[in-house]
């Protein structure tokens, strides 16, 4: 993060967790194109975060990078204050950062379970509650990145899928708890960006089951996030962005 503390922004400010790469980066760029100043949170991907920052600035908005390990509760609690110190306001919190690791009923490690639940579920709650006063002032919005797979829960990603089911419920509860000043919504991707090592034949099999007959893109997810930020009568809803897979 740049050392300077700046004048409060005139432009709306979005904090996007895990915004260095993949879906988070696409959301950062989409919101930068819409005129948001962007707080790019990252953990390990410092170089990619800096590239995202430069690409947001090239869209004509202010942007900065802020590091925090969301597995660490005190570091998570400090993140919103760091954003407010740097940008002076907050209009949108996008809980995108996530751990997606294999775990089954046969090999579950409780420490991995705790870490996944902390990053994917507790950190979004901590950030939402920390951001609440600032979002109250701006009539802001929280968008949680969920997963359509909670409807067909995968036994081989046990901790992940439970965390995303919890995040969906958290979205519904917080929408009621934080209304009427703050809206809380979610986007549930199907396939947006493949896991790096996903085999080509399995990709083809999965795409055959998607009514729109293609995998999605990070930009498809970013477009839905942008829509929800402007949808002022929508709260408590999680929109599937999955090519229709949840109906097939």
Ligand X SMILES: NC(=O)c1ccc[n+]([C@@H]2O[C@H](COP(=O)([O-])OP(=O)(O)OC[C@H]3O[C@@H](n4cnc5c(N)ncnc54)[C@H](OP(=O)(O)O)[C@@H]3O)[C@@H](O)[C@H]2O)c1
Residue nearer to ligand X on the CB measure, 10 or 152: 152
User: Which residues have C-beta within 8 Å of that of residue 219, sequence separation ≥ 6?
Assistant: 26, 30
Which of these ranges, 81-89, 90-98, 101-109, 200-208, lies near ligand X under the rule CB under 6 A? 90-98
Ranked by CB distance to ligand X, the top (closest) residue is 18
Give the one residue of 12, 13, 15, 18 binding ligand X; rule: CB under 6 A.
Answer: 18
Give the one residue of 2, 5, 44, 136 binding ligand X; rule: CB under 6 A.
Answer: 44
Contact call for residue 59 and ligand X (CB under 6 A): no
Calpha distance 167→154 (Å, rounded) = 16
Instruction: Give me the least distance between CB of 136 and ligand X, in Å please.
Output: 25
Which of these ranges, 55-63, 105-113, 190-198, 206-214, lies near ligand X under the rule CB under 6 A? 190-198
Residue nearer to ligand X on the CB measure, 23 or 37: 23
Q: Which two tokens stand for residue 68?
A: 């925090």
From residue 246, alpha-carbon distances to 29, 126, 191, 207, 211 in Å are 27, 29, 12, 13, 9
Contact call for residue 47 and ligand X (CB under 6 A): no
Contact call for residue 171 and ligand X (CB under 6 A): no
Instruction: Give me the least distance between CB of 222 and ligand X, in Å please.
Output: 10
Contact call for residue 66 and ligand X (CB under 6 A): no
Residue 160 annotated in active site? yes
Local structure of residue 121 (DSSP, 8 states) = I
Give the one residue of 15, 20, 32, 159 binding ligand X; rule: CB under 6 A.
Answer: 20
**What is the SS3 assignment for 157?**
strand
Calpha distance 236→169 (Å, rounded) = 9
Contact status, residue 220 vs residue 237, Cβ threshold 8 Å: no
**What is the SS3 assignment for 13?**
strand
Instruction: Give me the least distance between CB of 228 and ligand X, in Å please.
Output: 14
* H, E, C per residue of 25-56: HHHHHHHHHCCCEEEEEECCCHHHHHHHHHHH
Contact call for residue 28 and ligand X (CB under 6 A): no
Contact call for residue 116 and ligand X (CB under 6 A): no
Residue nearer to ligand X on the CB measure, 8 or 23: 23
The full length of the chain comes to: 248
Q: Work out the burial of residue 200: count CB atoms within 10 Å of its CB; fewer than 13 is exposed, 13-18 middle, 19 or more buried.
A: exposed
**Contacting residues toward ligand X, per CB under 6 A:** 18, 20-24, 42-45, 69-71, 96-100, 119, 145, 147, 189, 191-193
Query: Which positions are annotated as active-site residues?
Result: 160
């Amino acid at each position: 993060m740049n050392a300077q503390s700046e004048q409060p922004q005139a432009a709306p400010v979005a904090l996007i967790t895990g915004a260095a790469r993949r879906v988070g980066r696409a959301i950062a760029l989409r919101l930068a194109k819409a005129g948001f100043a962007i707080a790019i949170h990252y953990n390990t991907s410092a170089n990619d975060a800096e590239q995202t920052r430069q690409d947001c600035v090239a869209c004509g908005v202010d942007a900065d990078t802020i590091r925090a390990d969301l597995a660490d509760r005190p570091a998570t609690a400090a993140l919103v204050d760091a954003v407010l110190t740097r940008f002076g306001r907050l209009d949108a919190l996008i809980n995108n950062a996530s751990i997606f690791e294999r775990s089954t009923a046969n090999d579950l490690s409780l420490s991995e379970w705790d870490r996944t639940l902390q990053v994917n579920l507790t950190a979004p709650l901590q950030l939402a509650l920390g951001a609440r006063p600032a979002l109250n002032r701006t009539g802001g919005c929280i968008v949680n990145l969920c997963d359509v797979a909670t409807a067909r829960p995968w036994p081989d990603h046990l901790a992940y899928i439970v965390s995303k089911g919890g995040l969906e419920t958290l979205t519904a509860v917080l929408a009621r708890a934080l209304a009427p000043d703050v809206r809380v919504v979610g986007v549930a991707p199907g396939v947006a960006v493949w896991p790096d090592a996903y085999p080509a034949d399995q990709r083809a099999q999965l795409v055959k089951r998607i009514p729109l007959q293609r995998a999605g893109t990070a930009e498809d997810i970013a477009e839905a996030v942008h829509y929800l930020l402007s949808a002022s009568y929508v709260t408590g809803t999680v929109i599937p962005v999955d090519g229709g897979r949840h109906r097939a």
